[in-house]
């Protein structure tokens, strides 16, 4: 392996602490070198060797840094990514990449000009549940897919203390926050959307941003994808439901990687990415003898680390990154 990519985080809240730092610190392709912490200096408690900068200009002026993770509030992604690219850094941007597709296209043009790369952190392409669904679709046992329902539900009826998530500013609300995951999963499987219809609204008391959203997307070959996300679901429904001309597949939303990371499990742990027992998906299909077959499909191990592997391979070995930036543009068109 070539030398690790020297990497800096722009924040050390939940995103930095849970979704980025554990991988950057354990993946041999990276050196977790620095973090931006304007107030409390918390990262050093977990990573004693890390450098904590108090200002973004100081961080970006450090010539050792090659990659900057833009994991700040959604409405700041464009400005910070632009500054990082102008400073000669590659960028890995948390979803949603930007507020509009036009902003993202500006970043891509700038990256090409300065010979740097833009990556978007759509980690849930590597969730165990959507990986299982993708394999079932590709197996052909469902026949031609007619409809697929994707849900990402929570029950959080009170207003969050995270002001940037609850203030009606660009790219706030549940649609940008969670809808971006589901749209990306759909595009990763079915390609460029043909048409769509969306509805979103607020239902929590005193909510100023959307906390419910629904979208019907039509893809090529008459595939219908129904996306729903809500902050007010006390009994979470199946996260993935697929119906085709020959069968159906139902799977609970149950990838364990986020919970494991919150609990402090290392990505190097042999159990990391394994789902809890009895979370199998149910596949029902009609075989060639016109018999109804029911199979319980074992959970597939989730692997967020694969995204970081691909970033490394792209920067060091110029290999392609599977999250195509044209897919991100299509995603942003549906989000806005």
Residue 2's pLDDT band, with cuts at 50, 70 and 90, is confident
Q: List strands edge to edge, sheet with 5-9.
A: 51-53, 30-36, 5-9, 67-70, 90-94, 118-121
Q: Is the dihedral of CA 112, 67, 129, 148 positive or negative?
A: negative
Is 52 a member of any domain?
yes
CATH number of the domain at 293, please: 3.30.360.10
Please indicate, yes or no, whether residues 186 and 225 belong to a single structural domain of this protein.
Answer: yes
Please indicate, yes or no, whether residues 56 and 101 belong to a single structural domain of this protein.
Answer: yes
pLDDT digits (tens, 9 = 90+) for 153-168: 999 999 998 888 899 9
Q: Are strands 51-53 and 30-36 parallel, antiparallel or unpaired?
A: parallel
Cβ atoms within 10 Å of 266's Cβ, excluding its own: 14
Three-state secondary structure of 260-328: HHHCCCCCCCCCCCCCCCCCCEEEEEECCCCCEEEEEECCCCCCCHHHHHHHHHHHHHCCCCCCCHHHH
Alpha-carbon span 227 to 215, nearest angstrom: 5
Contact indicator for 165, 94 with CB cutoff of 8 Å: no
CATH number of the domain at 115, please: 3.40.50.720
Is 330 a member of any domain?
no
Please indicate, yes or no, whether residues 112 and 155 belong to a single structural domain of this protein.
Answer: no
Cβ atoms within 10 Å of 201's Cβ, excluding its own: 10
pTM: 0.96
pLDDT digits (tens, 9 = 90+) for 126-150: 999 999 999 999 999 999 999 999 9
* pLDDT value of residue 42: 95
Please indicate, yes or no, whether residues 222 and 260 belong to a single structural domain of this protein.
Answer: yes
| Domains identified in the chain, total number | 2
pLDDT digits (tens, 9 = 90+) for 239-298: 999 999 999 999 998 899 999 999 999 999 999 999 999 999 999 999 999 999 999 998
Residue 218: closest CA among 192, 184, 248: 192
Please indicate, yes or no, whether residues 105 and 133 belong to a single structural domain of this protein.
Answer: no
DSSP assigned state of 50: -
pLDDT digits (tens, 9 = 90+) for 163-216: 888 999 999 999 999 999 999 999 999 999 999 999 999 999 999 999 999 999
- pLDDT of 1 > 80? The answer is no
Note down the domain range covering 115: 5-123+306-324
pLDDT digits (tens, 9 = 90+) for 22-51: 999 999 999 999 999 998 999 999 999 999
Is 102 a member of any domain?
yes
Please indicate, yes or no, whether residues 265 and 315 belong to a single structural domain of this protein.
Answer: no
Please indicate, yes or no, whether residues 173 and 284 belong to a single structural domain of this protein.
Answer: yes
Please indicate, yes or no, whether residues 182 and 252 belong to a single structural domain of this protein.
Answer: yes
Is 260 a member of any domain?
yes
* pLDDT value of residue 222: 98
Contact indicator for 185, 139 with CB cutoff of 8 Å: no
Mean pLDDT of the region 65-84: 98
Is 147 a member of any domain?
yes
Please indicate, yes or no, whether residues 168 and 242 belong to a single structural domain of this protein.
Answer: yes
Please indicate, yes or no, whether residues 68 and 117 belong to a single structural domain of this protein.
Answer: yes
Is 168 a member of any domain?
yes
Is 333 a member of any domain?
no
Whether the ω angle into residue 96 lies within 30 degrees of 0, i.e. cis, is yes
Please indicate, yes or no, whether residues 96 and 134 belong to a single structural domain of this protein.
Answer: no
Is 29 a member of any domain?
yes
**In the block, residue with structure tokens 């597709």:** 101
Residue 299's pLDDT band, with cuts at 50, 70 and 90, is confident
Please indicate, yes or no, whether residues 175 and 83 belong to a single structural domain of this protein.
Answer: no
């Amino acid at each position: 392996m070539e030398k690790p990519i020297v990497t800096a985080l722009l924040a050390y809240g939940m995103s930095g602490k849970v979704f980025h730092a554990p991988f950057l610190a354990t993946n041999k392709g990276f050196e977790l070198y620095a973090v931006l912490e304007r107030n409390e200096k918390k990262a050093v408690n977990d990573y004693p060797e890390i450098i904590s900068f108090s200002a973004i200009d100081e961080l970006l002026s450090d010539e050792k840094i090659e990659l900057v993770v833009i994991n700040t509030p959604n409405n700041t992604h464009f400005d910070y990514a632009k500054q990082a690219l102008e400073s000669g850094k590659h960028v890995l941007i948390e979803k949603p990449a930007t507020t509009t597709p036009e902003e993202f296209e500006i970043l891509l043009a700038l990256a090409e000009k300065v010979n740097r790369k833009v990556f978007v952190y759509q980690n849930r392409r590597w969730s165990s549940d959507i990986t299982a669904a993708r394999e079932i679709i590709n197996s052909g046992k469902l026949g031609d897919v007619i409809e697929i329902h994707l849900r990402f539900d929570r029950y959080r009826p009170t207003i969050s203390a995270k002001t940037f998530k609850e203030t009606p500013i660009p790219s706030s609300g549940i649609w940008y926050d969670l809808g971006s995951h589901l749209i990306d999963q759909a595009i990763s499987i079915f390609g460029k959307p043909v048409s769509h219809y969306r509805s979103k609204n607020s239902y929590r008391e005193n909510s100023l941003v959307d906390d419910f959203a629904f979208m019907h997307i039509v893809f090529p070959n008459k595939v219908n994808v129904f996306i729903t996300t809500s902050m007010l679901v006390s009994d979470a429904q199946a996260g993935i439901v697929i119906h085709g001309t020959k069968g159906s597949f139902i799977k609970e939303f149950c990838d364990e990687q986020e919970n494991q990371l919150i609990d402090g499990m290392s990505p190097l742990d042999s159990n990391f990415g394994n789902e809890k027992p009895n979370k199998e998906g149910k596949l029902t299909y009609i075989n060639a003898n016109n018999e109804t077959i029911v199979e319980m499909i074992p959970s597939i191990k989730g692997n967020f680390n694969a995204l970081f592997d691909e970033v490394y391979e792209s920067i060091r070995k110029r290999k392609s990154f599977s999250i195509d930036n044209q897919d991100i543009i299509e995603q942003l068109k549906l989000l806005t």
